[in-house]
Structure 1
């Protein structure tokens, strides 16, 4: 594990090896001719070539996950509700294939059961009975069918607690490991709860069956759900999930983000918007245009990757978004999700969430799960590219994300691998939005299965079959440290799938070493010899020891005397902890929550709140 390629003894150049001889596909140059064309021109060209028998063009003429090549992601296909439909819309097989095809999203893996053994902690005085089956969760029939189409069989630990909490009307602060199903944990219950009342709650909109561009009067977007995320890539990814879970319902999702065409985003909003996903800057832009967007109908405000948002100098934007302009006071539920919760995020929760909000931890905040095999090798900085080349040639070809610490490094490493004949692409914040979307699409479809990225640009990416993550540069403690490491390796091993995380360690990474060793010990990984001097007392180099002895930075303001209740996923977890019994939280179709289980104001020590 310490040095599988004997990097320290490399004294001569590695023989030139063709990656294609090792199973990698051909390198793919970026098509700047296509980039110079409009979305419409590119789509028409591909369609014309496909009609003339060009098989390659036929592939690109079709929509991948509802998005055609050259098309902006905010224009991706959604289920358009016709006023003539009854309570449930009809099926559309082609759209269903685009939304739920196995190549377009992550389904639970063979090691999913390992996630069910993770300890769940409920902090504060509120207690929730978990659910252990989607069929017993009281979901709207349309949502239950969409969950089945998405391939979700068993709720993950975070979903087991969030679904009943949302149905009961609680505000939620949830801290769970990366790849544990947080997105579905907030989309499934919020959308399901609104589906039965959509005709009553949704704002008026033009009938898509009769909509004519430039003739039909546009409407103002009045979303019921607003989801705030830190990055454009995460925004489009959650938009994809929302498109799936809104299938065959009246709820219409939209996404807005910087760098994309604002006119096209306005056009989508003016068709009607019930679920709005966006980045802070673009959301504030539209909130300041009340003729385009109002939050007066808002029912749910959801903050995803809260730690990244509060740490990215978006304080002013978040104040505007959380105040919501003209939204009705007390009519909104707030949900905050993240893999880590620093004090700034907890302060945001204090300011906006109800006193009796539910606080849930799945595993230790900032931890990762055992489905990810972590490997650390010591590499001389001058030989890192050689080590990377050898590692890529030694592994089975698979979707791989390589993390670097700077935009310049991303460009340079992209050039190096491309000139070494590897099929690669890269993303970072200096790329145009069109380039970023094209790169993610090429990576998602396997056209370029190697993606080089900076940490922030890949935050929250959830892509099918990412088998390996490589930390070409480890994050320094000044720029995220072990929390950033956690987010990075969480791009693999998602929802019960397995993955490998390889990291190159150099002398510059010594400041990260103590935290890294604790992180490895927590998941029972052996410690390489060059990090052995950081092993804490009570452990050996094989990774065996008492995990309770590991001293991680506390991420809770809860006083020691108010110890949280721990909930495993055993039968006793469904005991009557909230005084209602196993099935008492089932939804009253008329009110959306059980009348006997409406949130009460418990006596809470405000000094102990997050």
Structure 2
């Protein structure tokens, strides 16, 4: 009887594979199949005595071969006749092997494919729909990364065009990018569902959010130009957290810095506010933020930053928010490692440049990841030449979104009232009169009746605060002569409504998100028209309406700003005839260092790469 050796080997290997899956045992990688020789070929039981003797010899020889080799229970013996009478155990084993061997190669392949398909579906099921497998339990992997698409369909071209026209939005798209399709609803955002909770207190995205989110979530560089109070913190905060959620950090160590997101802000108060907003959103994902700023001893900040890799908390610090001066100090001491930063935000960029932080900003950015490996977002209230140069230096083909005008304009939701006074000594009585007219309570105040009073100098702010206290008002103060703890306490009490009246210098004029400010009173006019616009921008935020009252005496620097103030009022639909007693000329802006000789009309030239 002839035996087809290749088919035996083929069936043997398949049988071994199936047994290996069933028993989950580690078997030798190479299975050997014993093929009988001619002297070992099986013959019928009715054969001669010689055949029986030869069978005994072959059996002995086979046992000897097995003993010399490593034992392998998967070795296969073909048995087609009952001439050999092994034990019952061997009979069952051979019978099973014989029956298994009857399957065709196609059937075995089908089984393997079914197993692979089953495993693949199980893996996909765990990642995609854990709720179906575990009842009403939440998906554990739901927030492992950002969704690919939002839960709502994209807006139509007609809806987008109407939205852009209504909000006076201009989007400048470089040739290397595709057109921007704004997210007109929060449901269109392709972000983890748990992160979408931030939108609970908002009806719809603000114009700057709707237009900057699409390119920012795609990893592109963005410039956002919008007035104060337009929601710029969330405009960069949501893309930053989405990026962090989708890329888990390496285990914290000195060689693996966990800080990958850096936000630069011009003031301490704005840095703290941004830090609190980002940390509040990131905690549920194990993401923590740290704020560093001047005005407090830096020893504590140095110790905290150096020990980030030793933290045992479930939160991993991945975001640093701070003022340029303090961050540069910490870098020089080796406490702040920015080598892993691949997401950079410059908030209130024009204000930082006004404060002389340009060189600090450039040094800080040079210590982050290379420009090609870093996403950079820049937000500003204006688009002057200095900001343009900064963008051209550190950004890759940015998409620029302008809400309104590139020039600074007043918030259209703020009613502007200007009172021209002949004598500055009448300011106190006019202030008290307005407080009584507004209905401000002396002990406490309703949330929508908060009043922010701006003074020009620290000494003036302190004097006005003392005067109001003597009149029985619950008032706080915010200026540079106060310690950082006192400033934070005053700001927190004003935000919470414990004190409904706050006297501040221009330190609170920009960036700070103080909710429910109903009225802004300019006790003394600021040094620039830009500061005036930022001051009154503390009210009328988030789509609400507010009111500003400004005392104007024409003394000192005020006289030369009458023309610009009149222009701002006219552009906003308001007027003050009494301002016409002052010169209406508008002076050309002068540079802080170069005066009237500075030119800002020279176009920005892009950098050229020199190859040797």
SS at match of 1:496: coil
> CA-to-partner distance for each residue in 1:426-483, whole Å, 9 max, x for gaps?
111222111111111121122222111111344211112111111111112xxxx111
In structure 2, relative to structure 1, the CA distance for the partners of 1:219 and 1:429 (3 Å cut) is farther
> CA-to-partner distance for each residue in 1:504-530, whole Å, 9 max, x for gaps?
0112222111111121122212x1221
In structure 2, relative to structure 1, the CA distance for the partners of 1:275 and 1:87 (3 Å cut) is farther
> CA-to-partner distance for each residue in 1:491-510, whole Å, 9 max, x for gaps?
11111111111100112222
Which of 360, 383, 392 matches 2:401? 360
Structure 2 residue aligned with 1:434: 485
Which of 188, 191, 197 matches 1:136? 188
Structure 1 residue aligned with 2:251: 204
Range 264-273 or range 232-241, more displaced:
264-273
Give the root-mean-square deviation of aligned CA atoms: 3.3
Structure 1 residue aligned with 2:233: 183
Does 2:363 match 1:317? no
Matches within 5 A, 1:88-487: 117-123=166-172, 125=174, 127-148=179-200, 151-197=201-247, 199=248, 202-205=249-252, 222-266=258-302, 268-269=304-305, 270=308, 271=311, 272-290=316-334, 292-324=335-367, 327-354=369-396, 356-364=397-405, 365-379=407-421, 380-397=423-440, 398-476=449-527, 481-487=528-534
Matches within 5 A, 1:570-589: none
SS at match of 1:430: coil
Query: Does the 8 Å CA contact 1:306/1:341 hold for their aligned counterparts?
Result: no
Q: Return the offset for 1:250.
A: 2.6
Structure 2 residue aligned with 1:510: 559
* TM-score scaled by length of structure 1: 0.64
> CA-to-partner distance for each residue in 1:519-557, whole Å, 9 max, x for gaps?
1122212x12212578999xxxxxxxxxxxx99989x98
Q: Return the offset for 1:413.
A: 1.0
Partner Cα separation in structure 2 for residue 605 and residue 257 of structure 1:
34
> CA-to-partner distance for each residue in 1:382-432, whole Å, 9 max, x for gaps?
101111111111113221111111111111111111112111111112221
Q: Return the offset for 1:318.
A: 1.4
Partner Cα separation in structure 1 for residue 561 and residue 580 of structure 2:
14
Q: Which runs of 4+ in 1 moved over 6 A?
A: 113-116, 217-220, 533-537, 550-554, 556-560
Q: Return the offset for 1:276.
A: 0.9
How many residues are aligned here?
422
In structure 2, relative to structure 1, the CA distance for the partners of 1:419 and 1:185 (3 Å cut) is same
Q: Return the offset for 1:219.
A: 9.2
Query: Does the 8 Å CA contact 1:174/1:338 hold for their aligned counterparts?
Result: yes
Structure 1 residue aligned with 2:60: none
In structure 2, relative to structure 1, the CA distance for the partners of 1:551 and 1:457 (3 Å cut) is closer
In structure 2, relative to structure 1, the CA distance for the partners of 1:430 and 1:605 (3 Å cut) is closer
Query: Does the 8 Å CA contact 2:413/2:543 hold for their aligned counterparts?
Result: yes
Partner Cα separation in structure 1 for residue 250 and residue 331 of structure 2:
17
Partner Cα separation in structure 1 for residue 411 and residue 260 of structure 2:
34
Q: Return the offset for 1:606.
A: 4.2
In structure 2, relative to structure 1, the CA distance for the partners of 1:528 and 1:161 (3 Å cut) is same
Higher-Rg structure is: 2
> CA-to-partner distance for each residue in 1:343-394, whole Å, 9 max, x for gaps?
222222222122x111221012311232111111112211011111111111
SS at match of 2:276: helix
The structure with more helix, counted as a fraction of residues: 2
Query: Does the 8 Å CA contact 2:143/2:192 hold for their aligned counterparts?
Result: no
Q: Return the offset for 1:135.
A: 0.9
Q: Return the offset for 1:268.
A: 4.7
Does 2:565 match 1:523? no
In structure 2, relative to structure 1, the CA distance for the partners of 1:240 and 1:382 (3 Å cut) is same
> CA-to-partner distance for each residue in 1:103-127, whole Å, 9 max, x for gaps?
xxxxxxxxxx999932011236354
Does 2:547 match 1:500? yes
SS at match of 1:470: strand
Name stretches of at least 5 consecutive residues in structure 1 with no aligned partner.
1-84, 91-112, 206-216, 538-549, 561-603
Partner Cα separation in structure 2 for residue 134 and residue 89 of structure 1:
17
Partner Cα separation in structure 2 for residue 190 and residue 299 of structure 1:
10
Query: Does the 8 Å CA contact 2:456/2:525 hold for their aligned counterparts?
Result: yes
Name stretches of at least 5 consecutive residues in structure 2 with no aligned partner.
1-138, 145-161, 441-448, 591-598, 608-612
Q: Return the offset for 1:220.
A: 7.4
Structure 1 residue aligned with 2:76: none
SS at match of 2:287: coil
Structure 2 residue aligned with 1:59: none
In structure 2, relative to structure 1, the CA distance for the partners of 1:450 and 1:315 (3 Å cut) is same
User: Which structure is richer in relative contact order (CA contacts within 8 A, separation 6 or more)?
Assistant: 1
* TM-score scaled by length of structure 2: 0.63
Partner Cα separation in structure 1 for residue 237 and residue 471 of structure 2:
42
SS at match of 1:174: strand
